[in-house]
Amino acid sequence: MNSAEKLIYILKRLGEPPYEMGITELAHEMQVSKSCIHKIVTTLVEENLIVQNPTSKKYFLGPMLFRLGSVYSDLKGIWDIAKPVIKRLAVSTKQSVYIGIWDGTQAFMAYKIDGSSDFTLFKGLTGKKTQIHAGVAGKVLGAYQDIALINKLLDEEELEPKTPRTIVTREGILNEYRRIREQGYGISDEEHTVGVFGIGVPILDKNGKVWSCLCLGGRKAFFSEENTHLWIHNLKDGAEEISYRLGFRR
C-alpha cells in the first residue's frame, strides 16, 4: 500500500469494531512498521481526523470526520427529504424506521427514527457498518451491487453467523439477493438479532441504481402477516417519494 492507501485504511478501520486501536495494533494488522503508522497517525491527529484517548493512548475517529459527513449529508440532501417520510412511517407503524446507505464497498445505517414501541432498534449503531449477509439493510443494498464487487467482498469477508438463522454460504446469499431483486424488497427474520424482524426496500436514483434503502425493524412479535404486507407497501411508497423528491424520478 502507498501512503494514501494506508491513510484511508486507518480511517476506515477505525470506523469498525473495536473503534479504538493503537499504533502497534494497526501496524501488526497492516503488516507495516510502527514508524510508518506513527507518521500517518500524527498527520491525522493534527487535522482532527482522529483523536487519541488520553487513558488508553489508542486512537478513534475525530470531529472533523463528523463535519465532513454532515457536509456529505447536506449535499445528498437525503436527510431533509427522508426525515418526514421516516417520521410518518415510525408514527404509523410504531416501529424503528431508518435509511441505509452504500458507500462503495459496504453498507451502513445512516439515519433512524424509533417508533413508540418499547423496543429501540440497534441503539448506538447509526453510522456503523452492517454486514451484507445479515440484516435487511445490508442484504437489500448488497443485492443491487455489481456481482464482481459482491464476489470480491464475499471472498474477503467471513460470513459470520449472527444467529442460527443467518445465511452463511455464498450460494445462499446470492440466492437471497436474486429473490430481493425479483420481489423488490428484502426481509430479515431473526438473521441479525434473535427476536428482531426487518423489512427493507431499495431507493433508486435516476439511472435505476441503488445506493440507499428504506427499512423498518422491530420485535418479531409485531410483524404479523397482515402488518408485513401493509408495511412493505408503505415502505415502497416512501422510497418512491424520497426518490421523486430528490429529483431522481422524472
Q: What b/e string do you get for 74-83 counting C-beta neighbours within 10 Å, with b at 16 or more?
A: eebebeebbe
Q: State which residues of the chain have pLDDT below 50.
A: 75, 249-250
C-alpha grid cell for residue 105?
464497498
Angle at 69 between CA 64 and CA 72, to 5 degrees: 130
Looking at residue 103, its pLDDT comes to 79
Looking at residue 119, its pLDDT comes to 63
Looking at residue 249, its pLDDT comes to 47
Looking at residue 75, its pLDDT comes to 44
Name which of 179, 178, 186, 188 is nearest 236 in CA terms. Answer: 186
Give pLDDT tens digits for 26-63: 999 999 999 999 999 999 998 878 889 888 999 988 76
Looking at residue 73, its pLDDT comes to 54
Q: Which domains can be identified in the chain, with CATH numbers?
A: 3-66 (1.10.10.10), 77-245 (3.30.450.40)
Looking at residue 250, its pLDDT comes to 39
Burial status of residue 198 (CB atoms within 10 A of its CB: 0-12, 13-18, 19 or more): buried
Question: Residue 167 in 3-state DSSP?
Answer: coil
Residue with cell 497492516: 30
Residues 167/178, Cβ–Cβ less than 8 Å: no
Looking at residue 126, its pLDDT comes to 60
Q: What is the rounded CA–CA span in Å between residue 33 and residue 43?
A: 16
The model scores a pTM over 0.75: no
